[in-house]
A = this chain, B = another copy of it.
Amino acid sequence: MEKMKAIAIVSGGLDSVAMSYVLASEGYEIVLISFNYGQRHSKELDYAALCAGHLKSEHHIVDVRALTNLMNTSSLTSNSIEVPDGHYAEETMKQTVVPNRNAIMINVATALAVSKEISVVATGVHGGDHFIYPDCRPKFIDSQLETLKIANDGFIATDFQLLTPFIHKSKADIVSAGELVGVPWNQTWSCYRGGEIHCGSCGTCFERREAFEIAGVYDPTHYASTPTFVDPR
């Protein structure tokens, strides 16, 4: 039987790399798509490429730096705005969001899916407790799927789906799921800063540490520092 194909949106972060390994273990033939939107660090994309290599997957890196040059408020892509320390909190996180980014990536991945006649686009979005990411909610995925089907009616597979295996999972759940299928965690990147190793103190580093701790999985990550703040919750 021919393998079911899926286009996986992979940043090189913990969630999307884990998703790729999980889907591959379920028998999917994965086509990886990554977006270069001018991240501060290139490690993330390097790790996406390593993931593709391990899974023997086709890998497309799409240069969308022109899109983010349009915007000028995101600390993910601008070196002039400081990355906030500490746990995710609404105010500090808002400045790290590139507007409408998940939707743009899903729309581009779907264009590729239509072009290649592939009926699954997968994304590692997950809800966790981060309500400030409106485009990580099931409500968004459902609405986006409906819009994509309407926009591409007659061209898109009738059974097209947006696969979001982690949408109801916490990051700790993702670590547990990934550990079962042998994700090489030290080949995933979370830190928002552009250092040689994970800084250990930004919001994503905090979240990464915490996920391994809760999951009870050994965290092989080298962190530059241990967190010095107190969780405000």
Identify the A interface with B (CB < 8 A). 33, 60, 62-64, 66-67, 70-73, 94, 97-104, 107-108, 110-112, 114-115, 132, 134-135, 137, 139-140, 143-144, 146-148, 150-155
Please give me the residue from chain B that is nearest to A97 by CB atom: B155
Chain B hits for A94, CB < 8 A: 155
Shortest distance between the CB of A10 and any CB in chain B (Å): 15
Q: Do residues A71 and B112 form an inter-chain contact, with CB atoms below 8 A? A: yes
Q: Which residue of B lies closest to A64 (CB)?
A: B66
Given A100-B110, A143-B147, A60 and B64 contact (CB-CB distance below 8 Å)? no
Contact B155–A147 (Cβ < 8 Å): no
Would you call B66 and A63 a contact (CB within 8 A)?
A: yes
Q: How far is the CA of A99 from the CA of B103 in the complex (A)?
A: 15
How near does chain B come to A116, taking the closest CB pair, in angstroms? 9
Chain B residue nearest to A144 (CB atoms) is B147
A139 touches which of B60, B101, B112, B150 (Cβ 8 Å): B150
A33's closest neighbor in chain B, by CB?
A: B70
A145 to B73, CA, bound (A): 23
Q: List the B side residues contacting A73 at CB < 8 Å.
A: 115
A71 → chain B, closest Cβ, in Å? 4
Contacts of A147 in B (CB 8 A): 103, 140, 143-144, 146-147
